[in-house]
A and B are shown apart, each in its own frame.
Chain A
Amino acid sequence: MKRRTFLKTALTGAGLITFGVPTLLQAQKQATVPIALVIPLSGPLGSFGQNELRGWEIAVEEINQSGGIKSLGGAKLEAVVRDHQGQPRVGMAEVEKVAGDKSIPLMVGCWSSAVTYPAAQVAEQYKLPMIIDIGSQTDILRRGFKYVFRYIQPTDKKCDDMVRFSVEMGEKHKLMPKSAAVISRDDSYGKEAADAFVKSFESRGIKVVEKIIYPSKVANLDVEVAKIKAAKPDLVYSVPFLADGVLLSKAMAAAKLDCMAYAALGGIGEPEFLNMVGPLAEGVFMQTNIDEDKIRPVDKALNEKMMAKYGVANNQFSAALYGIVYVIKDVLERTGSVDRDAVREAIAKTDITSGNALAMPSDFIRFDENGENTGAMCIVAQCHEKAWHTVWPFHMSKVRQGVWPMPKQW
């Protein structure tokens, strides 16, 4: 090839790549609605985000296959997924980037309360509608925000429901708990949940004999468990992530700690937990947001799809994102527009009583003036033979009734 021919070809090629391809992409893009997801996909919280992403991808795929958003001319949903690595600073920067892209009508995020707290502030500043997925720290939504909504229960309600569960279990089995110990990691969510537990226990006449906060990156929890054992509580309530949840279970087994019930908020709902602690999970109670027996058609269908596509069972995080994408579909169908203010109005007027948006069991989805979903529920599951079964609220316990007190592990 002569030098001149080569230069010509190269220049034409470069020109095409620079101008042609983006134009083509642009043309395709007009038929899509980008919706943003800012979650942790790497770092210590990465596995939680990965599970969320699975539910999200399945929902987006389903909606696009069944004709997209009809009121927008069948526009397809386009997922804009960003990783905040579990770091608030990165989360804020990512939300700012999303907010700067005016084609994005709304965003979902950010799993952890520590990231969601500042990220929600950014979203509000830029008037970018945001639906919070899992971050449940109560005061994220007590700051008079207009553009931020939450799909699940805030921490104070969730913790109160968890305590109510113990009381109702006690009444049902004629074995009331009289004392409790609370152990929690030291991030903002953990501390808030620990305080909420203490408040709820005391308001129901259960004495809190020990409250322990430990550093999130912890190498050893045996001394903390020894302190709990010495206080002899009927109930042990914990607020762990995955790794510390495993350490805690192992330390309790090693110390031969006996109690009426051990219950955990969050963290241990990851599918890995059961493999990691093996038989030590037997009888443990866990707060969740889904029906762990997966009897309802929506749970069953989602679970089958998850297993087929990723080989992983549906959990509360994938279910949350699956449900949220359907809330977004409902919102976009009603507005027929991608204008952020219109979308915000539509979210505020949401009234869903059936369909896939209820992937987390509830009778309805409506948002109150704080942006909280008033239909969100707290569900408690108990582990039996390496599987979680819904045991509370009692009307939802269909497969296996809760065992109270929990069986002794040693």
Chain B
Amino acid sequence: MIAMLITALANGLIIGGVYSLAAIGLTLIYGVMGVSNFSHGAMLMLGMYVVFWQLELFGINPYAGIIAAVAILFVLGWIIQRFCMNRIMDAPRYNQFLLTMGISIFLESLALFLWPDYRQINFGSGTSVPLGFGVYIELSRLLAFVAAIVISAALYLFLMRTDMGRAIRATAQNQLGAQVVGVNIWKIYCLTFGIGAACAGAAGAIIAPYYPISNDIGGTFILIAFVVTCLGGLGNVVGAMVGGIIIGVAETMGALFIPGGQKQLIPFIIFILILLFKPQGLFKFSGYWQAQQVK
């Protein structure tokens, strides 16, 4: 039983790290612009393919490949915001929803057209690390967790310590105020969407070494990422980090204790409870949502 608990906890933390990273991108975009990015899953999928093709074509180590995945997805996010989203930022919310949905369908269909079958990176396949009590964890998963923590921490420092990060936070808190002190919010929008997309790309890139890649892979992770964002408080980056871990552990514990393929029940029960009793999320939120409340 102890072995099973350790396995569940370790795997919960690991998958939670991936959920966190995916959710941070979502929550950042929501916090700054109030947009729910439904193309997030497709971007995660692209991140996986970037790593796959780098290894396939140039033999680049999948962990080094994370850099390119982040860069490419950042540029893609920037372009989407600059040329599509910025045009409809003042339009009703459902227009933004439809646009991100459309982008998602386009990207997934494009991937299906280009690469119709499953792909898999065989990197360190089967290498595992002992955790004691006869429990082993696949090395690639452990590395994914480490990468998720490093990337999340770097992003947190960027937001807290740099001028650009401050400008993003200022835009999230009060757009008018940010403009008054000279922040070009349209550029900040592009930057935010770029970072959000890069987070999704990074999440995809870190799971690519152990997860089969297909065009519809995003859905598996993104639905949970939305739950995580709500749990952590919409727009709250730290909330998303912690929320991801909570949901990850809840899910693997569910696999241990709930029979019959219902392990995803627990995250959604948590989701419903949060909506009922703490609709702002577990943590004090800061960002778009708050600004709306103040108005």
Contacts and interface: CB of A to CB of B under 8 A. Distances in A.
Contact of A226 (B4, B116, B118, B260): B4
Nearest to B2: A230
A215 interface: yes
Given A222-B7, A279-B125, A409-B126, A214 B15 contact: no
A240 B210 CA distance: 17
Given A214-B263, A276-B212, A278-B125, A226 B135 contact: yes
Contacts of A341: none
B118 A243 contact: yes
B120 interface: yes
Question: In the complex, which range does the number of interface residues on chain B fall in?
Answer: 35 or more
A278 B11 CA distance: 23
Question: In the complex, which range does the number of interface residues on chain A fall in?
Answer: 35 or more
Contact of A223 (B4, B214, B221): B4
Interface in B227-276: 251-252, 255-256, 259-264
A47 B117 contact: yes
A46 B116 contact: yes
Chain B contact residues: helix, strand, loop or mixed: mixed
Interface string B1-25: 1011001100100110010000000
Contacts of B251: 220
Interface string B173-214: 000000000000000000000000000000000000011101
B210 A250 contact: yes
A44 interface: yes
Contacts of A246: 118, 120, 212
B7 A272 contact: no
A239 to B, nearest CB: 12
Contacts of B224: 219
Contacts of B128: 253-256
A230 B1 contact: yes
Given A44-B216, A227-B4, A253 B126 contact: yes
Contacts of A203: none
Contacts of A185: 261
Given A230-B4, A275-B120, A276-B122, A254 B261 contact: no
Interface centre among B3, B117, B135 (most CB of A within 10 A): B117
A224 interface: yes
A3 B179 CA distance: 58
A217 interface: yes
Interface string B122-146: 1001101000000111100100000
B116 A250 contact: no
B292 interface: no
A297 to B, nearest CB: 29
Contacts of A278: 122, 125-126
A224 B251 CA distance: 12
A50 B15 contact: no
Interface string A218-254: 1110111011011000000000001100110011011
Contacts of A186: 260-261
A339 B128 CA distance: 61
B138 A250 contact: yes
B162 interface: no
22 contacts: A44-B214, A44-B216, A46-B112, A47-B118, A50-B116, A50-B117, A185-B261, A213-B259, A217-B219, A219-B18, A222-B252, A226-B8, A226-B135, A230-B3, A230-B4, A242-B118, A243-B118, A246-B118, A247-B211, A253-B126, A278-B125, A279-B125
